[in-house]
Amino acid sequence: MRVAVLGAGAWGTTVAGVLAQSADVALWCRRGELAEEVAATRENSRYLPGVELPDRILATPDVAVALGGASLVVLAVPLQQLRSRLAAWRPEFPDVPVVNLAKGVETATGQFGTEVVQDVLRDRQVLALSGPNLAAEIARGQPAATVVAGSDAAVATAVATAFTTPQFHAHAVTDVVGVDVAGAFKNVVALAVGMVEGAGLGANARAAVLTLGLSEMAALGGRLGARPETFLGLAGAGDLVATSTSTLSRNHRVGLALGEGLPLADAVGRAGGTAEGVATAPALLRRDADLPFVRDVVAVLAGERSPVAAVSRLLSAT
C-alpha cells in the first residue's frame, strides 16, 4: 500500500508516521528545505522536534511525486487553504479514497471540510478522521483512538484498518456530518474554556462552559441530520475534552491568552500555528444563526465583549 499525505505540519507528519508502520508514505512538504531536512535527518524539527520519522516516509515538495501510485490520499492542509490547494492539485489526483484531517468551516462558503473536498474533487470517496488526537502525544507513541467517517461503511472500515496500529486505534463510522460538526465546533468550545481558565474563573465555570458547548454542538448536529450518539463518542465528547483542556491545543492556548486580557492578534501570535476556532466561530454563525454559545465567543474575538462578560452570559443562558 502507498499513501500520499499532503501537508507536513505537526498533524500531517504525525499521521504519516502512523501510516508508515504498515505502508509506504509520500509526505508532501510545502517547503523544499523541510523535505530535505526530513530526508537527511528523519526529523521535522519545526513541528515535531525530537521525533524520529520512519524510513518508509518519502518527503517531497513535488505533489505529483507524492500522489503518484497512491492508493489513499490524506489531506493535512489548513481548512481555509484547502479549496485553493485542491483546485491546483486536482489534475494530479488519482481516483482513490481521500481522507480529510482539517476541522472547521470554510469562511467563504460555510462548508465543512469534507464538503469542501467533495465540492472540488466531485467523484472521490471522501472521509474524515477525527478524535481526541493531540499530535505531540501520538507522535511519541502514546495510546490514542479516533474515528474514520465515510458514507460507505466498507470503505470506512478499510481506511480505518490502514490507520490502526498497536498504539493508534481507528474505528469506522458512517456519520460524516456529525464528525464534521463535532470537529469544527469543539475548537470554538476550546476557545471558550481557555478564556475561563485564563480569566481565573474556576473549575465550576469551566465544566459548565464545556457542557454548554457540547449541548449546542449536538443541537446543531441534529438540525443538520447528524446522529446523536456521535456527540457522545470519540469525535464528539472525546475530541472536545482533549482540545478544551490540554495546553497542547492551540485553540485552548488562544483562549487562555484572551482570558488573560491579550487582544486577539497577540493571543494568536503567542499560541503559535493555526487556531481554526478563530475562523470557524464566525463561519458557524453564517451557517446557522441560532448558536448563542458561538455568538458570545465571536463577540470576544471581535473585541465587543470581555471574556468574563461572555462567560457570565453563557452561564446565565442555562
Catalytic residues: 186
Confirm or deny that 11 is annotated as ligand binding.
yes
Confirm or deny that 119 is annotated as ligand binding.
no
Largest Cα–Cα separation, the chain: 56
Are 46 and 34 spatial neighbours (Cβ–Cβ below 8 Å)?
Answer: yes
Distance of CA 70 to the CA centre of its chain: 23
Q: Which helix (H) or strand (E) holds 3?
A: strand 2-6
Confirm or deny that 92 is annotated as ligand binding.
no
Confirm or deny that 206 is annotated as ligand binding.
no
Are 199 and 259 spatial neighbours (Cβ–Cβ below 8 Å)?
Answer: yes
Confirm or deny that 131 is annotated as ligand binding.
yes
Confirm or deny that 270 is annotated as ligand binding.
no
Grid coordinates representing 97?
479514497
Confirm or deny that 227 is annotated as ligand binding.
no
Amino acid in the structure at residue 80: Q
CA distance 299 to 152: 39
Buried b (16+ CB within 10 A) or exposed e, 83-98: bebbeebeeebeeebb
Checking DSSP bridges between strand 126-130 and strand 98-100, what pairing results, if any? Answer: parallel
Alpha carbons within 13 A on the beta-carbon side of 101:
24
Confirm or deny that 276 is annotated as ligand binding.
yes
With a CB cutoff of 8 Å and minimum separation 6, the contacts of 315 are: 205, 208, 209, 212
| Residue listed under C-alpha cell 465550576 | 204
Confirm or deny that 239 is annotated as ligand binding.
yes
Confirm or deny that 229 is annotated as ligand binding.
no
Confirm or deny that 306 is annotated as ligand binding.
no
CA distance 29 to 33: 9
Are 109 and 102 spatial neighbours (Cβ–Cβ below 8 Å)?
Answer: no
Are 130 and 183 spatial neighbours (Cβ–Cβ below 8 Å)?
Answer: yes
Tell me which residue of 231, 232, 217, 213 sits closest to 297, measured CA to CA.
213
Distance of CA 66 to the CA centre of its chain: 22
Numbered residues of the known binding site for NADPH: 11, 30-31, 47, 103, 135, 250, 276
Numbered residues of the known binding site for sn-glycerol 3-phosphate: 103, 131, 186, 239, 249-251
Numbered residues of the known binding site: 11, 30-31, 47, 103, 131, 135, 186, 239, 249-251, 276
